[in-house]
Amino acid sequence: MLEINFKPYPTLETDRLLFRRVTEADVNEILELRSNPETMKYIPRPLLKNTDDALEHYKMIDNAIENNTGINWAITLKGNPKLIGITGFYRIQPENYRAEIGYMILPEFQGKGIVTESIQRLVQYAFDEMKLHSIEAVIDPDNIASERVLQKCNFVKEAHFKENEFYDGKFWDSVIYCILNKK
């Protein structure tokens, strides 16, 4: 079975992005991301309402890292420490060498290739450092922008589950995209 250990915490980078640990100082940006109906449109989770909610979300992120059950990074532009998005791995299955990737970015940074660059870097980290065999992304079938980004990053559609999640009084479909480590 795969051994997952995020100590020391890995800071990652690309030509224009730095991926650092989310801190309590990011609570306002977390609130901005997760209270925005636009960024949360395709995520069946409640909107954060205040900084206490954002602090709880930060603690959940940090606990997952401490327990080696998940990892998130603050997406920042090099030279500016402000969190503009969050990306990471959830539902890590060490027994299957598999994890789910997630990502979200503030609306003013969408359409600039930042999410594509982020996914490409995280896939590299997952395959080279974490030694995963596969990475899945679970998206809403109406989230065309996310679907395009995943396809651009060589993810392949594996499944479309009909009304498999109940949230906020309605059933939601889920689409699973996946990329395999061919090394």
Kindly tell me if the per-residue pLDDT of 183 is higher than 90.
no
Structure tokens at 43: 């995520």
Give the pLDDT mean for 122-134.
98
The whole-number pLDDT of residue 53 equals 97
The pTM of this model reads 0.95
pLDDT tens per residue across span 9-43? 999 999 999 999 999 999 999 999 999 999 999 99
For 152-165, what is the mean pLDDT?
Answer: 97
The confidence score (pLDDT) of residue 1 equals 86
Q: How far apart are CA 170 and CA 22, in angstroms?
A: 32
d(CA 160, CA 143): 13
How many residues in total does the chain contain? 183
Contact 88, 94 (CB under 8 A): no
pLDDT of residue 166: 95
Compute CA 20 distance to the chain's CA centroid, rounded to the nearest angstrom: 13
Average pLDDT, the chain: 97
pLDDT at residue 37, rounded to an integer: 94
- pLDDT for 86-99, tens place per residue? 999 999 999 999 99
Q: Does the pLDDT at position 173 exceed 80?
A: yes
**What CA–CA distances, in Å, run from 92 to 64, 73, 80, 157?**
10, 15, 30, 19
Domains of the chain: 12-180 (3.40.630.30)
CA atoms lying within 13 Å on the CB side of residue 86: 24
| 3-state helix, strand and coil shares in percent for the chain, rounded to the nearest 5 | 30, 30, 35
